[in-house]
Amino acid sequence: MSPGFAEVADRVYVLREPLLRVNVTLVVGDDEALLVDTLSSARQATELAAAVGRVTDRPLTLVNTHHHYDHCFGNAVLAGDPPRPVYAHERAAAALREEPERLRREAYEEVRTEHPELAAELAGTPLLAPTHPVHTETALDLGGRRVVLRHPGRGHTDADLVVHVPDADVLVAGDLVEQSGPPAFEDSYPLQWPDAVADLLRLTTARTVVVPGHGDPVDVGFVRAQHAELVRLAWLIRAAHTGDAPPERVAAEAPFGARAALIAARRGYTELNGTP
């Protein structure tokens, strides 16, 4: 675990878990604090709880930006006892409630080769489904501080949430924006992802601090540049599909590198072929 939270704006703190460079954001109000994402395992979440305690003793409300393991498998440690509210998009909440073993199995397979110790931790981590599903938008009052949870549309997954802190001009983007590597397209909707990023850009100003799912906080210029790359990728996928070209053609020309672009192209072809 990294040493702790660093303040990126007024009473808004970010902690980066070093193994996968996952960001956790803590927003402190007068009455409550909001914790955005809970990391991958019970051990990581226990260390995270200690880091939170070094910043604030206010009761926590939790948000999961989506249902991938590295953003929500710590829920049970941080919100299980005593019970605390956990917000997520309704589809993310349903996945964690109805298919926890599938999510655990997929997470284990993803990390077992490169990170066997984390894989072992995942196998023994209890999962807790979100308690408060969000459809499009929900506003929370932390006591003198309003925070907005918004689903900008399908992108990294079909269940992404962004967290806007207007008074601090901070936007927590989850994995809709990535800094430490290319976007992850395995569960994505690459043809709709540009629209989701355009939606979240409408919440920003020239001075907004954007917290990506992984890596360093970025400015709006970075997000606009990534949006342009996503637009180009979507255009290439559509053009290649129209011309009956294989997905590999997209990978040879697209941004984000051949491996990521090939996964995106295959996902995009699935969309264009009308397959869920």
Q: What would you report as the CA-atom Rg of the chain, rounded to the nearest whole angstrom?
A: 18
pLDDT at 200: 96
DSSP-assigned beta bridge partners for residue 149: 138, 163
pLDDT-derived band at 274 (thresholds 50, 70, 90) equals confident
228 φ/ψ sector (left φ>0, alpha ψ -120 to 50, else beta): alpha
Per the domain annotation, does 175 fall within a domain?
Answer: yes
pLDDT at 12: 98
CA 81 to chain centre: 24
Percent of the chain topping pLDDT 90? 95
Per the domain annotation, does 242 fall within a domain?
Answer: no
Q: Max CA-CA distance within the chain?
A: 59
Per the domain annotation, does 116 fall within a domain?
Answer: yes
DSSP secondary structure letter of residue 209: E
Say which CATH number the domain at 193 has: 3.60.15.10
pLDDT at 3: 65
pLDDT at 48: 98
pLDDT-derived band at 275 (thresholds 50, 70, 90) equals confident
pLDDT-derived band at 14 (thresholds 50, 70, 90) equals very high
Per the domain annotation, does 110 fall within a domain?
Answer: yes
- pTM across the whole model: 0.96
Per the domain annotation, does 205 fall within a domain?
Answer: yes
pLDDT-derived band at 29 (thresholds 50, 70, 90) equals very high
Per the domain annotation, does 266 fall within a domain?
Answer: no
Domain enclosing residue 74, as ranges: 6-219
Per the domain annotation, does 258 fall within a domain?
Answer: no
Amino acid identity at 85: P
Count: domains in the chain: 1
Q: With a cut of 60, say whether residue 2 has pLDDT above it.
A: no
Per the domain annotation, does 239 fall within a domain?
Answer: no
